[in-house]
Structure 1
Amino acid sequence: MESHILAISGGGFSVEEKAFIDEYLLKIPRKQEPLKIGFIATASNDAQGYIDEFYTAFKTEQPSHLTSKDFEALNIQEVVNALDIVYVGGGNTQYMLEIWQKTRFDIVLKNAYQNGVILAGISAGAMCWFETCYSENEEEYEEFKGLGILKGSLCPHYNDEQRRIAFDNWATTQKNNILYTLEDNENLHFKNEKVVAKIRT
Structure 2
Amino acid sequence: MTQRGTIFTLGGGGFSMPEVRPDPERPSPLDDLVLAQVARPRGAGGVPRVCFVPTASGDSPEYAERFHAGFAGRAETSVLALFRLSDLEGRSLREHVLAQDVVYVGGGSTANLLALWRLHGLDVALRDALAAGVVVAGISAGMNCWFEGSSTDSFGPLAPLADGLGLLPGSACPHYDGEAERQESFRAFVGSGALPAGWALDDGVALHWRDGELLEAVTERPGGRALRVRPDGAGGAVEEPLAVRLL
Query: TM-score higher than 0.5 here?
Result: yes
Match of 1:30 in 2: 39
> Aligned partner of 2:7: which letter?
I
1:20-63 deviations in whole A, cap 9, x for unaligned? 11111111113462001000001110110110111111122110
Match of 1:166 in 2: 185
Structure 2: which 5+ runs fail to align? 19-24, 221-247
Give the aligned length: 200
Aligned partners of 2:158 and 2:205: how far apart in 1?
25
1:53 aligned to 2:66? yes
Mark the structure with the bigger radius of gyration. 2
Offset, 1:140 = 4.7
**1:138 Cα deviation after fit:** 1.7
The alpha carbon displacement at 1:74 in A equals 5.8
Q: Does 1:41 align with 2:54?
A: yes
> How far is the alpha carbon of 1:142 from its aligned partner?
3.2
Letter in 2 for 1:141: A
Structure 1 vs Structure 2 CA RMSD:
2.0
Residue pair 1:94, 1:144 contacting (<8 A) in 2 also: no
Q: Taking CA–CA contacts closer than 8 Å with sequence separation of 6 or more, which of the two structures ends up with the larger relative contact order?
A: 1
**Match of residue 75 from structure 1:** 92
- TM-superposition CA deviations, 1:124-149 (whole Å, max 9, x none): 10111111123122235132311111
8 Å contact from structure 2 (residues 5, 210) kept in 1: yes
What's 1:113 paired with? Answer: 130
CA distance in 1, matches of 2:134, 2:217: 21
Matched with 2:107 is: 90
Code of the residue aligned with 1:14 in structure 2: it is: S
Counterparts of 1:7 and 1:140, CA distance in 2? 19
153 and 57 in structure 1: CA distance in 2 versus 1, 3 angstrom threshold: same
Q: Quote the residue 1:8 is aligned against.
A: 10
Hey, which bits of structure 1, 4+ residues long, moved more than 6 A? none
Report the Cα distance in structure 2 between the residues aligned to 1:20 and 1:86, rounded to whole angstroms. Answer: 17
| Aligned residue identity for 2:110 | T
1:196 aligns with 2:209: no
Structure 1 Cα separation of the partners of residues 102 and 193 of structure 2: 32
* Partners of 2:11 and 2:143 within 8 A in 1: yes
Alignment pair present for 1:65 and 2:79? yes
The C-alpha deviation readout for 1:41-97, integer Å capped at 9, x for no partner, is 011101101101111111221100100132996622111111011000011111111
Q: CA deviation at 1:174?
A: 3.2
How far apart are residue 191 of structure 1 and its match? 1.2
Identical columns (%): 31
